[in-house]
Amino acid sequence: MLKLRENRSILQKSVIFLFIFVFIVAFLLFLTHIYIKPNRFFDRMPFLLYIGFAIIIVVFFSFMIFELDNENKRLLKFRFLSENSIKIILMIIMSITIFIPPISFTTTVIDWNQVGIFNYFRAISFLIGCLFLPGANLFKIFFPKNTLHKRFKVESFIVKITLYPLLSLMYLGIFVLILDQIGILVRELFILILFLSILGLFFIDLIIQKMRDNNIEINIVEIKISKYTLIILVIALAVILISLGIQINAKYLVGSDSWGGISSAK
């Protein structure tokens, strides 16, 4: 009897796997022949885009068939740097890379042959720092005892990596708008002023944390990933792959140079 149940379970899982596989193949064929090829969006097959859609389909059917919402179990556990540790390290890296000379070619076009490895390092460190630090500092200042993650039943770091870039972009947008209205939005001084504003916000955050008797130290914390969180991370990975597939293969569906579509965002 027990062996019969095991065989039935194996057969059931095999049928489910076959159904999901056939659905993925059918959907990708439909996407290719009905939408992509007739519109000539891609010169070659966008494998990253297909992988992204396949991941989303697998997550959707897994959620529906295996009832992943019954219990939010902890699936993974690992150790990583604490939030204050990440902020301090990012601020140190930005403070060092600010001294790397930028590329000065023209105001509109960059000769990519002049971009060296240190310039890439400077660009990456500032992109990550600008997207993370202002939002992290503002969130810590105004919401020191945040419990939003409990309402969504996910780990706190998921809420933070979602909100921090949004808060950072909002801060950067308002800051640039103020500089533009004042009339000091000068290209040569913009990076320095922006860096000093992030540095000032960073120290304000540390001072307020100290006033609240919070320990400010570089340490390691334990991060747990639950079922809900894993689903969110996998879907986010799928969206990234889809976006990369569009960018690499179709260049945002712009037939000519991409500069023609983004020049107004200078």
Per residue in 225-242, pLDDT (tens digit) is 777 788 888 888 999 888
Average pLDDT on 114-121 reads: 85
pLDDT at 138: 92
Bridge partners, 76 (sequence order): 225
Residue type, 258: S
CA proximity to 236, closest of 86, 34, 59, 42: 59
pLDDT at 266: 40
**Among 80-89, 166-175, 246-255, which stretch is predicted with the lowest mean pLDDT?**
246-255
pLDDT at 135: 93
- Distance (Å, rounded) from C-alpha 6 to C-alpha 9? 5
pLDDT at 11: 74
Average pLDDT on 110-131 reads: 85
- Distance (Å, rounded) from C-alpha 22 to C-alpha 5? 26
